[in-house]
């Protein structure tokens, strides 16, 4: 029997995502001036206020207020009527030094013997249903909001958009787990006040989303995905009515509250640990990236059509306590999932330092991951510039989204004799 599956995304102006982006901007600045910084930064945003907290061990000192304000302005919170703007909000820093009790379990005389920064389990997932090996409902949800943000910045066809927004996509699947059609699309977008009454305003927003935004989104999708769109899609556009009060003024935002949006939209699994604001010694982040790297390369190599990878750690211990593989019965090799996991453990070194080195995680590469998902984006080289009143200017060429590279496909094929 056919079934429905749903994923959601949130925009860069969603209060939780504002918090994530500030936390990762702080992390990037610490790593730019001291690559060995240990960072766990949390951010809270609310009406007119930003609170920074967490633990840091670093040789550098930052103007954290300036960094936070810069992020907020870049997102688009630049007007007083938003009740939250980069130029006028208060910024309070409660960041303090990392606990030595934690640090002693992580640092070693030999960096290769670096222990895990915490216990826990992390998951990576990949599927053949999209070109970027991501679940389709989440991929479309992200693209809707990325295009909505592009429209907002263009200020051409839709002039009333504000930064806060959410999307949701429901897809109908057949018994063999093949996408059949788009069933429902939900978009809620913050907007300026209208002179017209509520009914006229809502009709205008719905018309613009369906007739301006969605054709732009669909045009950027591959042909096989475009075919899933039809004139029977159920659209719910700002279903609660007007949405003028939004962003941190409408809801308090916190780092790490959108972990499903950040990963696979409810497909696969999640170990519970957030990413943003954490340096790569925290395996919540680095091992989740490494697990995605494994899953994606396994699917691309033809080991299975769908793969879930779980890895687990004990704090301060170098080797992972387990590696688990689930191919959901889609394996193309003559091995069970346990045998595949044993082979994977020989191909991919999952010690924390090895992950950092393999994926180049001690670089300032994280702010770009803090909105529209950490997974599924295109790896690319960029030059980033960091200015500090205390440490001068640093210009770095870095590679973003290294965990998305298909650089182990040949090694996987060789190891599995395919």
pLDDT in tens, 198-256: 889 899 999 999 999 999 999 999 999 999 999 999 999 999 888 989 999 999 999 99
Annotated binding site: 14, 16, 42, 55, 98, 164-166, 242-243, 251, 257-258, 274, 278, 282
Q: Which residues contact 197 (CB under 8 A, 6 or more apart)?
A: none
pLDDT in tens, 356-381: 999 999 999 999 999 999 999 999 99
Question: The pTM is what?
Answer: 0.95
pLDDT the model gives residue 106: 61
- 11 phi/psi in degrees, rounded to 5: -80, 170
CA distance 281 to 255: 18
Task: Tell me the percentage of the chain whose pLDDT exceeds 90.
Answer: 89
Annotated binding site for Mg(2+): 16
- 332 phi/psi in degrees, rounded to 5: -105, 0
- The answer to whether residue 98 scores a pLDDT higher than 80 is no
Residue-wise DSSP of 176-214: TS-EEEEEEEEEEEEE---SS-HHHHHHHHHHHIIIIIH
- The answer to whether residue 64 scores a pLDDT higher than 60 is yes
The stretch 327-340 carries a mean pLDDT of 97
Annotated binding site for ATP: 14, 164-166, 242-243, 251, 257-258, 274, 278
- The answer to whether residue 111 scores a pLDDT higher than 70 is no
Strand 38-46 vs strand 49-57: parallel, antiparallel, or unpaired?
Answer: antiparallel
- The answer to whether residue 101 scores a pLDDT higher than 60 is no
pLDDT in tens, 134-169: 999 999 999 999 999 999 999 788 999 999 999 999
The token pair that represents 119 in the structure block: 């216990």
| Nearest CA-CA partner of 137 in 166, 167, 163, 164 | 167
pLDDT in tens, 113-131: 687 878 999 999 999 999 9
pLDDT in tens, 172-189: 999 999 999 999 999 999
The stretch 391-418 carries a mean pLDDT of 96
The token pair that represents 412 in the structure block: 């996987």
Annotated binding site for L-methionine: 55, 98, 251, 282
Annotated binding site for K(+): 42
Domains and CATH numbers, the chain: 3-10+136-249 (3.30.300.10), 15-99 (3.30.300.10), 120-128+256-415 (3.30.300.10)
CB 233: neighbour CB atoms within 10 A? 16
Please compute Rg for the chain using Cα positions.
Answer: 22
- The answer to whether residue 105 scores a pLDDT higher than 60 is no
- The answer to whether residue 411 scores a pLDDT higher than 60 is yes
| Nearest CA-CA partner of 296 in 374, 401, 406 | 406
Residue-wise DSSP of 268-317: S---S---TTB-TTSHHHHHHHHHHHHHHHHHHTTSBSEEEEEEEE-BT-
């Amino acid at each position: 029997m056919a079934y429905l599956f749903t994923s959601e995304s949130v925009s860069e102006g969603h209060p939780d995502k504002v918090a994530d982006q500030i936390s990762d901007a702080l992390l990037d600045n610490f790593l730019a001036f001291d690559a060995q910084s240990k960072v766990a930064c949390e951010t809270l945003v609310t009406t007119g206020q930003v609170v920074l907290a967490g633990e840091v061990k670093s040789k550098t000192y930052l103007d954290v207020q300036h960094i936070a304000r810069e992020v907020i302005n870049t997102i688009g919170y630049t007007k007083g009527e938003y009740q939250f703007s980069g130029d006028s909000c208060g910024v309070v820093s409660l960041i303090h030094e990392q606990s030595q009790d934690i640090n002693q379990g992580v640092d070693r005389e030999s960096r290769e013997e670096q222990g895990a920064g915490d216990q826990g389990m992390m998951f990576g997932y990949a599927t053949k249903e999209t070109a970027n090996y991501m679940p389709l409902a989440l991929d479309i949800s992200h693209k809707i909001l990325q295009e909505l943000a592009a429209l907002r910045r263009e200020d051409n066809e839709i002039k009333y958009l504000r930064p806060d927004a959410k999307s949701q996509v429901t897809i109908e699947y057949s018994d063999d787990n093949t996408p059949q059609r788009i069933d429902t699309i939900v978009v809620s977008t913050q907007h300026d006040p209208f002179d017209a009454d509520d009914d006229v305003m809502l009709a205008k927003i719905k018309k613009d989303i369906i007739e301006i935004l969605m054709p732009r989104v669909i045009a950027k999708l591959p042909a096989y995905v475009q075919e899933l769109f039809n004139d029977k899609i159920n659209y719910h556009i700002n279903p609660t009515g007007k949405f003028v009060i939004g962003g941190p003024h409408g809801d308090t935002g916190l780092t790490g509250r959108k972990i499903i949006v950040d990963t696979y939209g409810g497909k696969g699994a999640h170990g519970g640990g957030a990413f943003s604001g954490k340096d790569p010694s925290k395996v919540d982040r680095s091992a989740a990236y490494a697990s995605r790297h494994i899953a994606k390369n396994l699917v691309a190599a033809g080991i299975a059509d769908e793969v879930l990878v779980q890895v687990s750690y004990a704090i301060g211990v170098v080797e992972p306590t387990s590696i688990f593989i689930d191919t959901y019965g889609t394996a193309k090799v003559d091995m069970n999932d346990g045998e595949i996991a044993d082979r994977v453990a020989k191909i991919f070194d999952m010690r924390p330092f090895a992950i950092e080195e393999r994926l180049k995680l001690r670089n300032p590469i994280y702010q770009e991951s803090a909105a529209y998902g950490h997974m599924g984006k295109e790896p690319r080289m960029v030059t980033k510039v960091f200015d500090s009143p205390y440490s001068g200017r640093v210009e770095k060429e870095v590679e973003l989204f290294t965990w998305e590279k298909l650089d182990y496909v040949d090694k996987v094929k060789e190891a599995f004799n395919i």
